[in-house]
Amino acid sequence: MKSTRARCLLLACGNTLRGDDGIGPWLADWAEERFADEPGLHVISRQQWTPELAADLAEASAVLFVDCSTSSQAGSVELIEVHPAQRTEGVGTHQVSAAELLGLAQELYGSPPRKALLLTIGAGSTELSEEFSQAVLDTIPLACEQLQSAVEKMLACC
């Protein structure tokens, strides 16, 4: 029996109890609602990305990673292409980056997605809280617009 690759995987991460770090899961929920009638999109949201997610990546034609960034300006939205990272000695068993996950999908399954993008939203605060900072609240419409556009393009091309 031949396996069918998912057209697009949205892989979000973040801790909803750490302020702006919860924007990844929030956007994943938004995307699940927005694209509820789109069978080509599969959404996975986790507190952190772990090596076992490489199996899901190997099944996808395209992947959109979604996360907050503590190294970017609060409220900034960036969408960049991601390439598989070369394997380093001793991949962590708990948290891995988007590039490391792509590398694992290539190494373990010989089948990374053809297209991979990373959408990040600059965090203003990751202190204990279930609420977003004002900078992140203000940028949610732009983040949703960028996410929607990226998913639509990925679904169309892959």
Query: Is residue 110 one of the residues assigned to a domain?
Result: yes
Q: Which is nearest to 44 in space by CA: 69, 67, 71?
A: 67
22 belongs to a structural domain = yes
**Beta strand 60-69 pairing with 115-122:** parallel
- Could you tell me if 12 and 24 are in contact, meaning their C-beta atoms sit under 8 angstroms apart? yes
pLDDT at residue 1 is higher than 80: no
pLDDT tens, position by position, 11-28? 999 999 999 999 999 999
Q: Is the pLDDT of residue 5 over 80?
A: no
Residue 1 belongs to a domain: no
Specify the pLDDT at position 6.
67
The tens digit of pLDDT for each residue in 27-77 reads 999 999 999 999 999 999 999 999 999 999 999 999 999 999 999 999 999
Range of the domain at 24: 6-157
Write the pLDDT tens digit of every residue in 73-125. Answer: 999 999 999 999 875 655 555 579 999 999 999 999 998 899 999 999 999 99
pTM over 0.85: yes
Q: Give Cα separations from 116 to 9, 58, 83, 113 (angstroms).
A: 9, 12, 7, 7
Handedness of CA 35, 38, 42, 103 (dihedral sign): negative
Domain count across the chain: 1
In a domain, 88, yes or no: yes
Distance CA 10, CA 95 (A): 17
pLDDT at 86: 72
Residue 80 belongs to domain with CATH number: 3.40.50.1450
Q: Is residue 132 part of a domain?
A: yes
